[in-house]
Amino acid sequence: MAHCVLDDVAHPAAQADVHDGVILRIERDHQRQRAVSQTIDAPSGHVGHSGPISSELRERDASNLTRSAWARSIHRVSKRATWGVVSLGLLLGCGGCKPEPEAASVSTPPATADDAPAQALTPVTAEARDTAVPVVAGLGEDARKARVSAQTALLGDALFEDNDGQSVPWISPQATALTPADGEEVLDDSLLDSLPGSSGLVGSEVATRHVNGNALGIYQPLTIASADAKPLEPFYAALRALEAGNDPDGKVRVLMYGASHTDADIYTHYLRAYLRERFGDGGHGFVHIAKPWRWYGHVEMLTEGFKDWKTEHAQRRKGREDGFYGLIGVSLAATKSRAFGRVSHRDGSVGSNYEIHYLEQPKGGSFKVLVDGAHHAKVSTRGAAFGPGYFAIDLPEGAHTIEVQPIGNGEVRLFGMSVERDTSGVVVDTLGIGGTRASNMLKWAPEVWYDNVRRRNPDLITLAYGTNEANSGISESTYRERLTGVLTRLKEAAPQAACLLVGPGDFPKKGEDGTYGPRESTSYILRAQREIALEMGCAFWDLRAFMGGEMSMTQWATATPPMAKEDHIHFTRRGYVRVGMGMVDAMMAGFDDHDVLSAKAP
């Protein structure tokens, strides 16, 4: 019999046969607190290499994860759950339901660009591993398989869990030095390093890490307006129709808007890979046809061409303020024939149906379309008035390369290109702009943007903003007014689509003395998002709570392996995968009708 430990009192009611085999334990939180305390007690109050925590925050920071998880575990259990699962300390997809660092008996995975080197990964003993409870004991086989498939797409063999929910691999809680191999510098992933604020180097001092990065993340269900509310039902209904072969066009589409977290296309690709494993691969989704910024790129699509294009969006000071920015909110304009944009498949992805989005305008120029290096068509963007234009390319399925080349007879202004397959399945559009805010969507010309959105015909739209707003000095009242306006526009553009708001992660404020403290603005941004989402019929997912609450970013940034960057804003590749796991587990709990894990009312 499994026991659920509440303040060190064992309650036999938490047996293995309750609620589809979900076994819930709080013991993990006590171990998490001890692991966090090890870090806080490091010499000079430093947390790894990313900077000291102010002394008045140490005690709170050391117990923050435990207290926040404890409070949520008492509050947020489904009404249909038995008393034995009131202590919902579940870390589904977040390393939970087992004692703190347990490992599968596997060889140490190869080091990746933004994970700790192989020699720093120390699996625990098989004896400790044998006491583990499967993380995903309550999920069906198809969901567990999809979770592993999505992890594999982004992490290779260095998974969090296997098909049975066993951790693969866990990291020892002992302090491990982040030591470069063969004297080389440890570099973070090049794409993530290029995001504004990221550093790229571990630092001049070798850090001692005490926190198990693979153990971070506390399962957070979606927040909904009431027990009877079903904000994601349009999305779930579309998935059910797709499964049954009754979807009108054989596609379920998801539009994912956000800032740099979204632009990195890692947590978004986790959702893409998860859904395609369960419901079929409908194609990659929407991409830029050339690079709007040098670091732009998607996980399985290569985009080339940057010079001679003018990037414009609502936050670009030198850009036009006409609002003609297209689906993503970013346009690329060129007048010279030497400009080019090229998109090609990689990592085994394929496509057959491509559609280029552009601005039709008076005096618009023309561009050539090349398919796999050969001339395919000439497209004129000239029209009687400003408006959306589209050019479709249907090909036999394959790993094609699509290239555009302005002819030089006028301005060509492009919005991007959709990439889909003939097969039925799910399509996820990653629509991120680094450094942007949700309110910038209010500056997008509706006559173009609405049409682009309707062309994509989404079943779900997600918005992941808030970090940049929290750093902007905006008042809560102004933020509420603008966010309400954004959601109103979304409802007008796609009234059939479900909507989900993803709150910002923890974003501590660095003081002049180098110590980190809470950023109060993040709290009112989260509060406003949650309340407005529910008022507008959307669901809300709290990323900061998933991370562990206020000041939890310090743990993510100093863990082994590191789960966040030194800037205390962005995540590492592995950290983004963990975020994707937590978000998708919460999203799909309602579809799978899981009583314990499903959404909650505030």
Q: Which residue has the higher pLDDT, 458 or 86?
A: 458
The pLDDT > 70 percentage for the chain reads 70
Tell which residue, 312, 573, 583, 524, has the closest CA to residue 436: 312
CA distances from 41 to 36, 53, 62, 547 (A): 9, 11, 9, 21
* pLDDT attached to residue 159: 92
Angle between helices 520-535 and 476-493 (to 10 degrees): 40
CATH T-level assignment (fold) for domain 284-422? Jelly Rolls (2.60.120)
**Does residue 126 or residue 260 have the better pLDDT?**
260
Residue with tokens 């003395």: 513
How many other CB atoms sit within 10 Å of the CB of residue 169?
25
Dihedral (C-alpha) 164, 572, 466, 428: value to the nearest 10 degrees? Answer: -60
- 37 to each of 79, 173, 211, 213, how far by Cα in Å? 34, 12, 9, 14
Alpha carbons 562 and 170: distance in angstroms, whole number: 13
Q: Which amino acid is at 526?
A: L
Residues 569 and 198: their CA atoms lie apart, in Å, by 8
Question: Would you kindly state where each structural domain of the chain is located, as residue ranges?
Answer: 4-223+554-564+576-591, 284-422
The residue with tokens 């409070």 is: 71
CB within 8 Å of 21: residues ≥ 6 apart: 137, 138
Band of residue 140 on the pLDDT scale cut at 50, 70, 90: confident
Report whether pLDDT(5) > 80.
Answer: no
**Per-residue pLDDT reduced to its tens digit, 299-319:** 999 999 999 999 999 988 888
Q: What is the per-residue pLDDT across 557-599, written as a single tens digit (0 to 9) for each?
A: 999 999 999 999 999 999 999 999 999 999 999 999 876 677 7
d(CA 554, CA 482): 30
pLDDT reported for residue 594: 73
Per-residue model confidence (pLDDT) at position 514: 87
Q: Tell me the mean pLDDT in the region 5-12.
A: 30
Model pLDDT, residue 596:
65
What's the whole-number mean pLDDT along residues 340-345?
A: 98
Lowest mean per-residue pLDDT among 58-72, 410-424, 439-453: 58-72
Q: Is the peptide bond before 234 cis (omega within 30 degrees of 0)?
A: no
Q: Using CB atoms within 10 A of its CB, is residue 380 exposed (0-12), middle (13-18) or buried (19+)?
A: middle
> Mean of the pLDDT values across residues 495-508?
97
The residue type of 183 is G
Handedness of CA 75, 79, 81, 84 (dihedral sign): positive
**pLDDT at res. 348:** 94
Question: For 543-564, what is each residue's pLDDT tens digit?
Answer: 999 999 999 999 999 999 999 9
Label the pairing between strands 539-541 and 498-502: parallel
Confidence of residue 163 (pLDDT cuts 50, 70, 90): confident
Q: Cis omega (within 30 of 0) on the bond before 458?
A: no
Tens of pLDDT, residues 28-69: 333 443 343 333 333 333 333 333 444 344 444 434 433 333
Q: Which pTM was predicted? A: 0.76
